[in-house]
């Protein structure tokens, strides 16, 4: 009998372009094989002779991580068979065509994600075998697969929360929400490698690399690792936080346009934290990483967000009798806004009913299992007050539900409650609307309507779990129970007489009126109202007062007073933080009774606006001309103006330009040409910063068509 020659591998085609398109990874490039778990991919093996299934034996070996083993799930060995086996690694559905062999490989939907090496072992009689390397591939989570824990059964949502590489971050105040464009750029060619580099620098990996790799099949685990690694509080994380005002050793958090520059700088620096980040930067970078890894993710802003470190569901703030907000030694604060992430997943570690959106917060606020990370906390659990469920649900619950108690501080102690607000925290919880540039209010997914029976019931349930016996006895609760602070004869409100603009005087109107059933029997009420304006910091604190005023008023029954207040530009010039926020507070004291009443107004001073115009038709590889116009509407020059342009699929990296000084009232027009790289919907982000105003931002949505035939 003639002996058949040994089967030898001559070449392999991983069919990356075809596979990547089928796995929704073509945006990451077509040169490397990047696939999603729980889904078939194909490859072609070319041999020295035709494959003979009855006599030739081929074994596939896929490995990831250091010291891969089948026990840890980091090594898989599987034979070539005609029929595919469900839920395990398999090579099947093969087609023999002369000397080539088409094979379909399947990875289970619970496989470890990461960089894999793939090889085959060809065996023939008498135990002879040869091993051939086939190449490498990257395996990601698969939200298109019903078997994967990140399955999201909506193509519209997948296009938004996986495929969209730009979006918006919402900032400002609940009364004046502003949208900031952000370039996520998760499909830029090197970002996928940087994402795994982040996992490989985590403390979990450094402590036990093999165990860490083996847990990368679990989306809950991966999310927690990424949440810890985006900040650098206890590891070589991506970003260093800075909530001060000195950014001279790095870049102000306000001056980032997107995640790509941050991630590339971190990687190029060997894992040195990038300076600097605040909550919206941390959350936006985490969104990039999670979307890149295949986890549906969005960025969420919570306005008037509680930072409740002692877990008592109460945030105390203090004012003196001159209406100045006082610094507190407590770590508890109310942030103007706070930004976190939501990731979509099944929670097999929780009872039924808590799947779906989960809060992940990479901003370093408190430790969780010893590291600065937060979540995943089920949004449903937060709404229902199920604060005992993992992870970090009590902290997130307090961020959207804590009570605010405002005290009058006099003679060295808190003497009087000026206000007890049960519904002021957790307002206008916002994310980008699907398929639109509009903002979506998702507050109702976090809590029942304020004051409703369901909301109070949930609050009491959460309080009992978080506070236990502490809830039953407290001087604060005794004071609140008396409700004396509500029986005040007059009401006060502060309104803006016109929209405040940075560089101009601010005009406010005090509206004051008598409460009919609390009117004093002796006639008019005489008041002295003391006002104070302070720069407001993003983290809820204030700086030294920049303006004070005192007004004496007399109010008759049935009468109202409108009293104008002018805050001159010269008072706040050079005194505000980069956020351009001012808190105006007033305390009215009734002369006869000594009762005090508080009125507050937070102001956001708008920077100048820029406009962006592009030519009508945009094609890949064809020069696109962009015109950017900025008029300095301020009363002062803008010095050291610098422009940064960014946009994944439009520009490779960034385009920067120094613009010099823009005099008050003058207009600058800038023309920029570039060559779009990818087709489809894209977003151009433009940032102009100066010494006076750090954040003049704009964006333009651009649809890029395929190159037309010449």
**Is residue 395 within 8 Å of residue 308, measured between CB atoms?**
yes
Most confident of 369-373, 414-418, 441-445: 441-445
Of 333, 326, 320, give the one whose Cα is nearest residue 363: 333
Q: Model's pTM, two decimal places?
A: 0.95
- Which pair of structure tokens corresponds to residue 98? 């002369």
Q: What is the pLDDT of residue 544?
A: 95
Of 438, 408, 409, 406, give the one whose Cα is nearest residue 425: 406
**Is residue 74 within 8 Å of residue 68, measured between CB atoms?**
yes
67 carries a ligand binding annotation: no
Burial label for 592, CB within 10 Å (0-12, 13-18, 19+), is exposed
Q: What is the pLDDT of residue 472?
A: 41
User: Tokens 């003639």 label which residue?
Assistant: 2
Of 359, 232, 230, give the one whose Cα is nearest residue 301: 359
Q: How far, CA to CA in Å, does 526 sit from each of 114, 554, 557, 595, 612?
A: 72, 4, 12, 11, 54
| Sign of the Cα pseudo-torsion (289, 292, 296, 300, in order) | positive
Between these two residues, 678 and 127, which has the higher pLDDT value? Answer: 678
Distance of CA 313 to the CA centre of its chain: 24
Element (H, E) at 260: helix 260-268
Length of the chain: 710
Q: How far apart are CA 477 and CA 468, in angstroms?
A: 14
Of 634, 619, 383, give the one whose Cα is nearest residue 505: 634
Q: What is the pLDDT of residue 518?
A: 58
Please report, to the nearest 10 degrees, the dihedral formed by the alpha carbons of residues 214, 218, 224, 229 taken in order: 50
Question: What average pLDDT does the chain have?
Answer: 93
341 carries a ligand binding annotation: no
Instruction: Identify the three-state secondary structure at position 400.
Output: helix
Of 567, 589, 375, give the one whose Cα is nearest residue 492: 589
Of 607, 544, 539, 599, give the one whose Cα is nearest residue 572: 544
Q: Bridge partners of 624?
A: 674
**Mean pLDDT along residues 32-58:** 96
**Is residue 695 within 8 Å of residue 578, measured between CB atoms?**
yes
How many C-beta neighbours within 10 Å does residue 221 have?
A: 15
The DSSP 8-state label assigned to residue 606 in this structure reads B
Q: Bridge partners of 549?
A: 531
- Which pair of structure tokens corresponds to residue 549? 């005023």
Q: How far apart are CA 238 and CA 270, in angstroms?
A: 10
**Mean pLDDT along residues 295-304:** 98
Q: How far apart are CA 118 and CA 101, in angstroms?
A: 16
pLDDT of 368 > 80? The answer is: no
Contacts of 587 (CB under 8 A, 6+ apart): 319, 321, 322, 323, 408, 418, 529, 530, 596, 597, 598, 599
pLDDT of 473 > 50? The answer is: no
From its phi and psi, is residue 239 left (phi > 0), alpha (psi between -120 and 50) or beta?
A: beta
pLDDT interval class at 515 (50, 70, 90): confident
pLDDT of 480 > 60? The answer is: no
Q: Known catalytic residues?
A: 279, 338, 361
**Mean pLDDT along residues 694-704:** 94
Of 293, 189, 180, 283, give the one whose Cα is nearest residue 238: 283
User: Tokens 């770590």 label which residue?
Assistant: 331
- Which pair of structure tokens corresponds to residue 665? 């009232």
pLDDT tens readout for residues 112-156: 999 999 999 999 777 789 999 999 999 999 999 999 999 999 999
324 carries a ligand binding annotation: no
Instruction: Identify the three-state secondary structure at position 160.
Output: helix
455 carries a ligand binding annotation: yes
Q: How far apart are CA 551 and CA 476, in angstroms?
A: 31
Burial label for 451, CB within 10 Å (0-12, 13-18, 19+), is exposed
Q: How far apart are CA 457 and CA 313, in angstroms?
A: 15
Q: How far apart are CA 56 and CA 419, in angstroms?
A: 82
DSSP letters spanning 328-393:
-SSS-EEEEEEEEEEEEE--TTS-TT--EEEEE--S-SS-BTTBS----EEHHHHHHT-TTSTTTH
**Is residue 186 within 8 Å of residue 165, measured between CB atoms?**
yes
Q: What is the pLDDT of residue 474?
A: 47
pLDDT tens readout for residues 420-456: 999 999 999 999 999 999 999 999 999 999 989 999 8
**Is residue 696 within 8 Å of residue 670, measured between CB atoms?**
no
pLDDT interval class at 488 (50, 70, 90): confident
Q: Bridge partners of 564?
A: 509
Q: How far apart are CA 24 and CA 142, in angstroms?
A: 9
Q: Bridge partners of 533?
A: 547, 584
pLDDT interval class at 90 (50, 70, 90): very high
pLDDT of 557 > 80? The answer is: no
Q: What is the pLDDT of residue 475?
A: 46
| Sign of the Cα pseudo-torsion (229, 234, 240, 242, in order) | positive
**Is residue 201 within 8 Å of residue 238, measured between CB atoms?**
no
Distance of CA 426 to the CA centre of its chain: 16
pLDDT of 478 > 70? The answer is: no
DSSP letters spanning 102-120:
EEEEE--TTPPPEEEEEEE
Query: Phi and psi at residue 83, in whole multiples of 5°?
Result: -100, 135
How many C-beta neighbours within 10 Å does residue 629 have?
A: 14
Q: How far apart are CA 162 and CA 140, in angstroms?
A: 12
How many C-beta neighbours within 10 Å does residue 177 have?
A: 18
Give CA angle at 233 (231, 239), nearest 5°. Answer: 30
Of 362, 210, 337, 207, give the one whose Cα is nearest residue 273: 362
Question: Among 4-8, 18-22, 112-116, whose mean pLDDT is lowest?
Answer: 4-8
Of 643, 710, 697, 707, give the one whose Cα is nearest residue 676: 707
pLDDT interval class at 267 (50, 70, 90): very high
Q: What is the pLDDT of residue 29?
A: 96
Between these two residues, 172 and 143, which has the higher pLDDT value? Answer: 143
Q: What is the pLDDT of residue 173?
A: 87
**Mean pLDDT along residues 271-282:** 97
Percent of the residues in the chain that have a pLDDT greater than 90, as a whole number? 79
Distance of CA 465 to the CA centre of its chain: 28
Q: How far apart are CA 183 and CA 278, in angstroms?
A: 16
Contacts of 521 (CB under 8 A, 6+ apart): none
Q: How far apart are CA 340 and CA 132, in angstroms?
A: 46
**Mean pLDDT along residues 402-416:** 91
Q: What is the pLDDT of residue 482?
A: 46
Percent of the residues in the chain that have a pLDDT greater than 70, as a whole number? 96
Q: How far apart are CA 499 and CA 481, in angstroms?
A: 39
């Amino acid at each position: 009998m003639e002996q058949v020659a040994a089967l030898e591998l001559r070449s392999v085609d991983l069919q990356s372009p075809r596979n990547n398109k089928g796995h929704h990874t073509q945006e990451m490039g077509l040169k490397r094989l990047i696939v999603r778990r729980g889904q078939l991919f194909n490859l072609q093996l070319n041999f020295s002779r035709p494959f003979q299934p009855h006599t030739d034996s081929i074994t596939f070996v896929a490995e990831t991580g250091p010291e891969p083993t089948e026990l840890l799930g980091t090594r898989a060995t599987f034979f070539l068979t005609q029929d595919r086996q469900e839920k395990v690694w398999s090579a099947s559905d093969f087609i023999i065509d002369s000397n080539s062999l088409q094979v379909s490989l399947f990875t289970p939907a619970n496989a470890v994600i990461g960089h894999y090496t793939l090889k085959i072992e060809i065996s023939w009689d008498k135990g002879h075998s040869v091993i051939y390397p086939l190449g490498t591939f990257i395996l990601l989570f698969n939200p298109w697969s019903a078997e994967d824990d990140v399955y999201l059964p909506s193509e519209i949502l997948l296009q938004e929360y996986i495929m969209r590489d730009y979006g918006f971050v919402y900032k400002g105040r609940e009364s004046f929400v502003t949208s900031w464009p952000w370039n996520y750029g998760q499909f830029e060619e090197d970002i996928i490698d940087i994402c795994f580099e982040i996992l490989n620098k985590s403390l979990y990996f450094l402590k036990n690399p093999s165990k860490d790799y083996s847990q990368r099949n679990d989306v809950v685990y991966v999310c927690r690792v990424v949440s810890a690694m985006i900040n650098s509080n206890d590891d070589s994380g991506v970003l260093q936080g800075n909530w001060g005002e000195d950014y001279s050793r790095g870049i102000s958090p306000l001056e980032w346009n997107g995640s790509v520059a941050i991630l590339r700088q971190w990687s190029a620096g060997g894992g040195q934290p990038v300076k600097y980040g605040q909550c919206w930067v941390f959350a936006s970078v985490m969104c990039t990483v999670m979307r890149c890894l295949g986890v549906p993710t969005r960025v969420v802003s919570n306005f008037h967000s509680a930072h409740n470190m002692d877990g008592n569901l109460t945030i105390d703030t203090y004012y003196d009798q001159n209406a100045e907000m006082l610094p507190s030694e407590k770590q508890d604060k109310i942030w103007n806004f706070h930004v976190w992430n939501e990731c979509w997943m099944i929670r097999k570690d929780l009872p039924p009913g808590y799947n779906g959106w989960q809060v992940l917060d990479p901003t370093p606020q408190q430790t969780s299992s010893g590291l600065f990370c937060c979540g995943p906390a089920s949004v449903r659990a937060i709404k229902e007050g199920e604060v005992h469920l993992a992870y970090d649900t009590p902290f997130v619950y307090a961020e959207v539900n804590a009570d605010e108690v405002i005290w009058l501080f006099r003679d060295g102690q808190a003497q009087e409650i000026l206000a007890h607000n049960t519904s002021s925290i957790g307002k206008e919880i916002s994310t980008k609307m699907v398929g639109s540039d509009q903002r979506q209010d998702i507050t109702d997914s976090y809590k029942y309507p304020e004051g409703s029976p369901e909301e109070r019931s949930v609050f009491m349930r959460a309080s009992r779990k978080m506070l236990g016996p502490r809830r039953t006895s407290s001087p604060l609760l005794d004071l609140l129970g008396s409700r004396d602070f509500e029986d005040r004869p007059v009401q006060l409100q502060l309104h803006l007489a016109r929209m405040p603009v940075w560089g101009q005087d601010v005009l406010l109107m005090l509206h004051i009126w008598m409460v009919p059933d609390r009117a004093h029997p002796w006639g008019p009420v005489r008041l002295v109202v003391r006002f104070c304006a302070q720069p407001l910091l993003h983290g809820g604190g204030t700086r030294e007062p920049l303006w004070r005023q005192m007004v004496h008023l007399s109010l008759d029954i049935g009468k109202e007073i409108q009293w104008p207040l002018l805050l001159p530009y010269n008072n706040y010039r050079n005194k505000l933080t980069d956020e351009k926020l001012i808190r105006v507070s007033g305390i009215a004291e009734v002369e006869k009774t000594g009762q005090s009443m508080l009125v507050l107004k937070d102001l956001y001073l708008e920077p100048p606006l820029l406009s962006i115009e592009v030519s009508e038709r945009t094609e890949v590889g064809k020069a696109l001309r962009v015109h950017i116009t900025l008029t300095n509407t301020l009363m002062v020059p803008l010095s050291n103006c610098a422009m940064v342009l960014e946009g994944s699929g439009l520009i490779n990296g960034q385009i920067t330009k120094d613009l010099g000084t823009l005099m008050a009232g003058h207009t600058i027009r800038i023309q920029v040409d570039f060559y779009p790289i990818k087709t489809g919907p894209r977003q151009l982000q433009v940032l102009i910063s100066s010494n006076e105003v750090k954040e003049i931002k704009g964006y333009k949505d651009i649809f890029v068509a395929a190159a037309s035939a010449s």
